[in-house]
Chains A and B, each alone.
Chain A
């Protein structure tokens, strides 16, 4: 009897181990592979050990088998947790079909994994990527910022990107840390300082509410579906966290680059490191509906990630996509890879300008007019073109 049971356990364990191996070989990204490897692997090995224990049938064997199984149950979750965390932080690519990245903005993500700018080739994943979402972005976040230029830019941007099926979130942000800064308070001035902060907050809230009201009226006039939110706290954190759940985020250039919005002291640093969300559309007042996208490929891993985010997000999908690369070693290969990747996702992609010199600002004629410039949010090369696009007056899409 015990022999039959042992035989069943052995074969069952080996079958589950084989299923784990099939999962590791066929699932499309490292995290899904880990999902197969750890759970099914432990069960497979554990069942085989139990079968061996049953076949031996001695107390001595059971002791060892019990110890090993217990040990596996304790250690495998630990090691796979460590591996998963390190893989995420190391920038291991996520399969686009995974949906939203719940850790975006929570854990920093860098790139160690791939050669400069190389995007993982599509034929590597055994499963095909899901079909592209519809052309107009589905979930749009509008970060409200006060000021005339900002408001005009927001309205222009809203006009351009909103379609029938777009869900719009109006997010009005109040940066509490920077508003409640008072500086040194003289003796006995604490009460006065507190009143001052309260007054400042109240007037900022009033302004934000009035602006939100105007934007809501604009949405209602166009019969757009919208929801409104008001948040107070560290503006950048809030923006980054909320933006991760949207396909596109509209942010007025004047607020983001000129007045630093309502942004806290660490803002300069935050702008330098960029926000990695699916799409951050920095809109200037001259914004118009893009007829083409022009992607600046910096030749680093960040650009590869940005390219993938752009393709996966489906923002302005269907526009012709131009790709211009920097003149760095291996640029031609990277350009060819990027073009092939875009083409495989159904984009009409072609090479843009000739290779750009890394130190020169962007040529006047490039990236202008109805062509929307797309730059990687994070750049290790920080070329002249990248800097001039970030700091210039034009609208730019950062991914």
Chain B
């Protein structure tokens, strides 16, 4: 086991704990904003996890997936924000 393998294992462990905590916040809420923030962070964690997987398997192509995940996370966060902004308007102004 080389140094890099050890670092990979340790990082994976730390990342698992991070995902567990963030997932708990996403399930717990209590508001839609808290869930959205947790989702945003989950996207970032997924990018990091993909980098780890790419390194562990030696597949360079997995880094492309990290780019894709980043993109999806961004669009998802903006989409949720747009939904929240729309729902935040008073009911009479909503259906215009």
Contact = CB atoms under 8 A, between A and B. Distances in A.
A352 interface: no
B14 A17 contact: yes
Interface in B53-72: 54-55, 60, 63-64, 66-67, 70-71
A3 B2 contact: yes
A209 interface: no
Contacts of A72: 44, 47, 70
A244 interface: no
A10 B30 contact: no
Contacts of B66: 49, 64, 68
Interface string B2-29: 1110111011111101111110110010
Interface string B52-96: 101100001001101100110110011011111101111000000
A89 B37 contact: no
Contacts of A113: 31-33
A375 to B, nearest CB: 19
Contacts of A55: 4, 55
Contacts of A78: 74, 78
A33 interface: yes
A82 B88 contact: no
B86 to A, nearest CB: 9
Given A10-B11, A49-B51, A80 B40 contact: yes
Interface in A35-76: 37-38, 41-42, 44-45, 48-49, 51-52, 55-56, 58, 60-61, 64-65, 67-68, 71-72, 75-76
Of A17, A42, A114, chain B has the most CB atoms within 10 Å of the CB of A17
B31 to A, nearest CB: 4
Nearest to A33: B37
A41 B84 contact: no
Given A55-B55, A68-B67, A110 B89 contact: yes
B67 A90 contact: no
A87 B47 contact: no
Contact of B34 (A8, A33, A58): A33
A90 B87 CA distance: 7
A21 B63 contact: no
Interface in A102-126: 110, 112-114, 120-121, 124
B87 to A, nearest CB: 4
Contacts of A33: 25, 34, 37-38
B37 A34 contact: yes
Of A20, A44, A90, A120, chain B has the most CB atoms within 10 Å of the CB of A90
Contact of A85 (B13, B37, B81): B81
A21 B21 contact: yes
Nearest to B17: A18
A52 B67 contact: no
A280 interface: no
A79 B40 contact: yes
Of B4, B6, B17, B36, chain A has the most CB atoms within 10 Å of the CB of B36
A4 B31 CA distance: 43
Given A14-B11, A17-B44, A90-B31, 8 more contacts: A11-B14, A22-B18, A34-B40, A64-B63, A64-B64, A68-B70, A79-B78, A86-B81
6 A-B pairs with the lowest CB-CB distances in the bound complex, closest first: A7-B7, A87-B33, A21-B18, A79-B77, A14-B11, A82-B81
Interface of B: 2-4, 6-8, 10-15, 17-22, 24-25, 28, 30-34, 36-38, 40-41, 44-45, 47-48, 51-52, 54-55, 60, 63-64, 66-67, 70-71, 73-74, 77-78, 80-85, 87-90
12 contacts: A11-B11, A14-B13, A17-B14, A20-B41, A34-B37, A48-B52, A52-B51, A64-B66, A68-B67, A71-B67, A71-B70, A76-B44
